[in-house]
Copies of this chain bind each other. A is one copy, B any other.
Amino acid sequence: MKDRVSVALESYLEQIADLQKEHGAVRTSDLADRMGCRRSSVTNALQRLSEKGLINYQSYRPVTLTAEGEKTIKALSRYHGILADFLENILAFPEKFAQEEACRLEHRVSQSTIERMRIYIEFIEQTDNLDRGLASAKFKEFMQKR
């Protein structure tokens, strides 16, 4: 069982995936902007990600994810999505906050909790469809009145 990559490196990896989608190529300075750190810290991170086989990296060349890196990202972004969905649609947070909080939590929340959140969302949706509780709508209403 290959040891899990650190929270910091996971975040770099996510930003790389994001930038790849947006711009194709991924540059050190864009990553530094996103991560709020110096370019030299990015270089250091890229070297470590490369050693772990998660990115294709050569000096002065734009970066891409390896197949392994893609796989890691896929799992992570699923976690992120479910978390953000839960925060927005169950706990009734605004989307922006939900996204930010999901970023903070996705590296820590266990798989069981993620799956349970998914099931909970499904449950609430079913309840809503049965027009019995309209639980999520009711919660939003409840929030307004406080």
Interface residues of A (CB under 8 A from B): 87, 90-93, 97, 101, 104-105, 108-110, 112-113, 116-117, 119-120, 123, 126-127, 132-133, 135, 138-139, 142-143, 146
Chain B: minimal CB distance from A18 (Å): 21
Is there an interface contact between B108 and A92, defined as CB atoms closer than 8 Å? no
Question: Which one of B104, B108, B123, B126 lies within 8 Å of A110 (CB-CB)?
Answer: B104
Which of chain B's residues has its CB closest to A133's CB? B133
Is there an interface contact between A93 and B112, defined as CB atoms closer than 8 Å? yes
Chain B: minimal CB distance from A117 (Å): 7
Which of chain B's residues has its CB closest to A141's CB? B123
**How far apart sit A93 and B109, CA to CA, in the bound complex (Å)?**
14
